[in-house]
Amino acid sequence: MTFKSNDSAWTTKGATLSHKSAEKEFGLTFDEIVAGIRAGKLQYRENSIYGAPFLRLIRSEVEALVNEKYGKNYLNKKKWKKELSEIKKTLKALKEQTLTLENRKAELEDLLAEKEE
């Protein structure tokens, strides 16, 4: 029989995040995070790294807070927008690479044509 404590979310890799990461990833403000803590919707632990303090939060609770506050599709829309911007960035880089290769191909064909004459 496996025993799971209430702290399993705190020890599972990827199940927690800092308040700074929550602000970036979910678009929350520090005040919204504090309000969620005071309302009892978010558990937290105080932590610090290299002397800089931060709050450690449980990711699933942050996601639930965001779903409640902004609606269920908010996270999906945010994820889709990020994926779309990454695709656009990749396509732009590929177009630039294609243009460079096409120019080099034309140069080489010209050089070969000159040598055959």
- The pLDDT profile of the chain, 117 residues, written as one tens digit per residue, is 444 555 688 888 888 999 999 999 888 999 999 999 999 999 999 998 999 999 999 999 999 999 998 888 888 888 899 899 999 999 999 999 999 999 999 999 999 988 776
Amino acid at position 62, single letter: V
For the whole model, what pTM was predicted?
0.65
pLDDT value of residue 1: 42
pLDDT value of residue 3: 47
pLDDT value of residue 37: 94
| Residue 56 per-residue DSSP state | E
Question: Helix or strand or coil: residue 29?
Answer: coil
- Cβ-based burial of 22 (10 A; exposed 0-12, middle 13-18, buried ≥19): buried
Provide the 10 A C-beta neighbour count for residue 42.
21
pLDDT value of residue 117: 66
Strands (E), the chain: 16-18, 44-49, 52-58
Our measurement of the distance from residue 1's CA atom to the centroid of its chain's CA atoms, rounded to an integer in Å, reads: 36
